[in-house]
Amino acid sequence: MKNLIERKLEELLSGVRPAVLFDAMRHAVMSGGKRVRPQICLAAAVAVGGKAEDAVCPACAIELLHSYTLVHDDLPSMDNDTERRGQPTVWTKFGEANAVLAGDALQSLAFRAAAQSPKNADRIVAELAEAGVGVVRGQVEDLDGDDVDFIYRHKTADLFIAAAVMGAYAGGGSEADVGRLREYALNLGLAFQFEDDLLDDDSPYSKAETERMVAEHTEAAVSALEGLSGDTSFLASLAERLMGRSE
Amino acid sequence: MKNLIERKLEELLSGVRPAVLFDAMRHAVMSGGKRVRPQICLAAAVAVGGKAEDAVCPACAIELLHSYTLVHDDLPSMDNDTERRGQPTVWTKFGEANAVLAGDALQSLAFRAAAQSPKNADRIVAELAEAGVGVVRGQVEDLDGDDVDFIYRHKTADLFIAAAVMGAYAGGGSEADVGRLREYALNLGLAFQFEDDLLDDDSPYSKAETERMVAEHTEAAVSALEGLSGDTSFLASLAERLMGRSE
């Protein structure tokens, strides 16, 4: 599935000029991301009985949106990070102004990709826009506020939800299927975030509490897959991997 | 026409939380813009025989996209401007991180508005995405390059083109009508940019050359309106105002 995504991402980026903008955008997108969100998107299309190929456009859209948030999160005025995945961050390599602009263009490119979805493009774009606003809401609360549930819900889960819901629409799923995948992705996102907390000494929750949250949300994610007509094995194993049950 | 736009912009912004994000976004959008682009969008719907009301969503979308570009252009790493329209810029009032984030959320909100268009939402979103990438291309070239034609084409004209084309789609125009309005808006945008140059001592063109360019592009804009079935008086007078023929 990853090959489908990598090829389409290259295609979407191609033709961007001037060269410095292309280089900065490509550096942000093609530098070894695990592609978790786009894989959720493709797998959601499969889970509703569609084909992974149907969801390549929204899958790339969610990855481009995610990429832009990382570029902007790394800025000096935000997290001030100079390295990501062992590489210099976009602002470190291309300057701060180009990093702001490359992130901005990646967001537009995400919507261009979403609009190219062969099926239900209007719903897919609406879902991506919802996630786009949501992820910023979570980030602002993270900078200025202290509502941890709000931060987890929006900063992390919103992109998982959009990935799954867009995939379900792209695969031609019913509203009931979309609802199941929304529930799955919300819980997957929260499990993912609590799992992250286990590695974080500043977590507001105790280790025991955090482990219980990971287990509860993982179980809820897997349960939500019941009733889907297609193959849900990828989505189920992704949730279970978070529990350390495999790999 | 402006009332339609102001009301819908308020509606689109309402419900954004946390409060600091809402305040920063509202400060960017509701602070006395002339609403040229959204008015072009509404007028384009009328020019193809539709109603202005049909184009309120894309009209707000183009204004939200334009607003985000201003918020980011003003950042310290870009133009480092502390005032806009007699008010402190978003970063001056809300801090640099919040300004980056408010701009990011405005871009998502622009696409949410575009996706809500009752007619041809998919084409409207695609056109907005094209302009979203284009305007950044122009801005990067403006920062790092010297291709003035490229800068004028993308930094200014792309948003005018998207406004007119989205309005034509929203009003149910034919592909031929869309083509006419694309031609109109390209020339209007270039005339607008050259007109701006008359006030700019750093312009790469002589005053006589610039005046000739304004006249030529204005004429081409007005000519492009021929053949449209609806009322084109607003669009024609907008172009002619640029020539100082009225107001």
The domain locations on chain B are: 2-241
> What is the interface pTM, i.e. ipTM, of the complex?
0.95
SS3 string, chain A, reads CHHHHHHHHHHHHCCCCCHHHHHHHHHHHCCCCCCHHHHHHHHHHHHCCCCHHHHHHHHHHHHHHHHHHHHHHCCCCCCCCCEECCEECHHHHHCHHHHHHHHHHHHHHHHHHHHCCCCCHHHHHHHHHHHHHHHHHHHHHHHHCCCHHHHHHHHHHHHHHHHHHHHHHHCCCCHHHHHHHHHHHHHHHHHHHHHHHCCCCCCCCCHHHHHHHHHHHHHHHHHHCCCCCCCCHHHHHHHHHHCCCCC
Residues B117-171 pLDDT 10s: 999 999 999 999 999 999 999 999 999 888 999 999 999 999 999 999 999 999 9
Residue A243: per-residue pLDDT: 66
Which member of B96, B125, B141 has the closest CB to residue A115? B125
Residue B2: per-residue pLDDT: 83
> What does the radius of gyration of chain B's CA atoms come to, in whole angstroms?
17
At residue A84, φ and ψ (nearest 5 deg) are -145, 130
- Model confidence at B247, in pLDDT bands (50, 70, 90)? very low
> Which chain A residues contact residue B136 at CB under 8 A?
21, 101-102, 104-105, 108
Q: Are B197 and B79 in contact (CB under 8 A)?
A: no
Mean pLDDT (chain B) is 94
Which member of B72, B96, B126 has the closest CB to residue A115? B126
Which residues touch A107 (CB under 8 Å, ≥6 apart)? A64, A65, A68, A132, B104, B107, B108, B132
Averaged pLDDT for residues A58-70:
98
Q: Are B224 and B199 in contact (CB under 8 A)?
A: no
Q: State which of A32-41, B54-63, B146-155 shows the largest mean pLDDT.
A: B54-63
Which member of B16, B72, B125 has the closest CB to residue A104? B72
Answer whether B107 sits within 8 Å of A107, measured CB to CB. yes
Answer whether A111 sits within 8 Å of B122, measured CB to CB. no
Alpha carbons B42 and B58: distance in angstroms, whole number? 9
Residue B58: per-residue pLDDT: 98
Residues B165-179 pLDDT 10s: 999 999 999 999 999
Q: Are B183 and B44 in contact (CB under 8 A)?
A: no
Mean pLDDT (chain A) is 94
Q: What is the pTM of this model?
A: 0.96
Which member of A75, A128, A141 has the closest CB to residue B100? A75
Residue B237: per-residue pLDDT: 95
Residue A118: cis peptide before it, omega within 30 degrees of 0 = no
In chain B, the N- to C-terminal Cα span, in Å, equals 18
Q: Does domain A2-240 have CATH number 1.10.600.10?
A: yes
Distances (CA, A) of B74 to A42, A105, B92, B138, B193: 39, 17, 9, 16, 19
Does residue A77 have a pLDDT over 90? yes
Answer whether A18 sits within 8 Å of B132, measured CB to CB. no
By CA distance, what is A17's nearest residue in B?
B137
Cβ atoms within 10 A of the Cβ of A110, count? 31
For residue A99, give the nearest of A155, A37, A33, A23 by alpha carbon: A23
- Model confidence at B32, in pLDDT bands (50, 70, 90)? confident
Cα B3 to chain centroid distance, Å, stands at 17
> Which chain A residues contact residue B101 at CB under 8 A?
72, 136, 139-140, 143
Pairing verdict, β B83-84 and B87-88: antiparallel
Residues A17-26 pLDDT 10s: 999 999 999 9
Residues B220-241 pLDDT 10s: 999 999 999 999 999 999 999 8
Distances (CA, A) of A138 to A157, A160, A166, B104, B182: 10, 14, 20, 13, 38
Alpha carbons B226 and B177: distance in angstroms, whole number? 10
For residue A231, give the nearest of A38, A42, A2 by alpha carbon: A42
Residue A245: per-residue pLDDT: 41
CATH number of the domain at B2-241, please? Answer: 1.10.600.10
> Which chain B residues contact residue A101 at CB under 8 A?
72, 136, 139-140, 143
Alpha carbons B39 and B55: distance in angstroms, whole number? 10
Provide the percentage of residues in chain A whose pLDDT is more than 70. 98
- Model confidence at A206, in pLDDT bands (50, 70, 90)? confident
Does residue A247 have a pLDDT over 70? no
Q: Are B132 and B62 in contact (CB under 8 A)?
A: no
Averaged pLDDT for residues A78-84:
97
Answer whether B97 sits within 8 Å of A112, measured CB to CB. no
Residue B18: cis peptide before it, omega within 30 degrees of 0 = yes
